[in-house]
Amino acid sequence: MSKLRVTVWGENIHEWKHESVRLHYPWGMHKCIADGLNEAEDIEAQTATLQEPEHGLTEEVLARTDVLTWWGHCAHAQVEDKIVARVQARVWEGMGLLALHSSHYSKIFKALMGSSCSLCWREAGELERVWVCNPGHPIAQGLGTYFEIPEEEMYGEPFGIPVPEEQIFISWFKGGEVFRSGCAWRRGNGKIFYFRPGHETYPTYHNANVKQVLKNAVRWARPAGSIWIDDAPNIPADKAPEPIEVRGGSVHDAHGKIA
């Protein structure tokens, strides 16, 4: 099997403006995430950022991306709608998508969910304990029954998401809240995984368990069948599987255009 081609997308702003972030991610959060993935021999991760032309997500880049990971926070609005639509169409075809942490509010995640994606939050560097809901799940491999992140932002319920198709993780926070931290859905032919941890001012993406989850998740999100090209074909009466005769009126002309 050829290597899994991952593109790690980063908003790439906090790292340069805030010392508290640069401290943990001197080469950018995206670089740290990609490095973690590249520890695996079967994964080949490259990066793309907001500041690049087309945010680094050209047709060519997406065409050779099996799984895209997304981290954004303060600049969701700066992502061009044209690029969001392009990524969404590629997910429908079969590309996997990992939405990380504050990307719950990214344009692409909200567009795929169709819901508010809201939550409550607190930035207090508190303990997060991530519990595994299915110990046999591909995304939970190599973890114990739970793992801890000593300092994390809190995200709490209610989380405004469609009912998850798979529930992989739920988090316990020291301050008293809970959160659906690992959830999976499919849209079209693509698999989507939301993973909660990853606040910019803590070294979360250096955490061995978090790195393990990301490796597991990109493997899980890998396209498994073939591409589904979006299409809405007209099947004229003479091409119907069963013989039929055309009846009734139409607002379309003989070429299928609305008159």
Question: Considering only residues 87-116, where is the footprint of a second copy by CB under 8 A?
Answer: 88-89, 92-94, 105, 111-116
Q: Is 134 in the site for a second copy (CB under 8 A)?
A: yes
Of 35, 44, 166, 209, the one binding a second copy (CB under 8 A) is 166
Q: Is 78 in the site for a second copy (CB under 8 A)?
A: no
Q: Which two tokens stand for residue 195?
A: 């993973």
The Cα 47–Cα 136 span in angstroms is: 30
Of 5, 14, 211, 215, the one binding a second copy (CB under 8 A) is 14
Residue closer to a second copy (CB basis): 9 or 155: 155
Residues sharing a CB contact under 8 Å with residue 97, sequence separation 6 or more, in sequence order: 67, 68, 69, 70, 87, 91, 108, 109, 112, 190, 191, 192, 193, 221
The Cα 244–Cα 252 span in angstroms is: 19
Burial 143-175 (b: 16+ CB within 10 A, else e): beeebebeebbbbbeebebeebebebbbbbbbe
Q: Is 70 in the site for a second copy (CB under 8 A)?
A: no
The Cα 114–Cα 224 span in angstroms is: 24
Q: Is 86 in the site for a second copy (CB under 8 A)?
A: no
The Cα 12–Cα 46 span in angstroms is: 14
Q: Which of residues 195-234 bind a second copy (CB under 8 A)?
A: 200-202, 220, 223-228, 230-234
Of 138, 144, 206, 208, the one binding a second copy (CB under 8 A) is 138
Residue closer to a second copy (CB basis): 53 or 136: 136
Of 57, 140, 149, 221, the one binding a second copy (CB under 8 A) is 140
- Can you name the residues that pair with 70 across neighbouring β-strands? 9, 99
* Axis-axis angle for helices 208-221, 29-38 (nearest 10): 70
Of 236, 253, 254, 255, the one binding a second copy (CB under 8 A) is 236
Which range of residues in 19-27, 47-55, 62-70, 207-215 is near a second copy by CB under 8 A?
19-27
Which range of residues in 46-54, 58-66, 163-171, 207-215 is near a second copy by CB under 8 A?
163-171
Q: Is 63 in the site for a second copy (CB under 8 A)?
A: no
CB 110 within 8 A of CB 96: no
Q: Is 53 in the site for a second copy (CB under 8 A)?
A: no
Q: Is 41 in the site for a second copy (CB under 8 A)?
A: no
Provide the Cα torsion 170, 172, 175, 176; round to 10°.
80
Q: Is 157 in the site for a second copy (CB under 8 A)?
A: yes
Q: How far is the CB of 34 from a second copy (least distance, A)?
A: 22
Which range of residues in 4-12, 39-47, 48-56, 250-258 is near a second copy by CB under 8 A?
250-258
Q: Is 9 in the site for a second copy (CB under 8 A)?
A: no
Q: What are phi and psi of 23, to 5 degrees?
A: -50, -45
Taking alpha carbons only, the member of 69, 6, 68, 91 closest to residue 40 is: 6
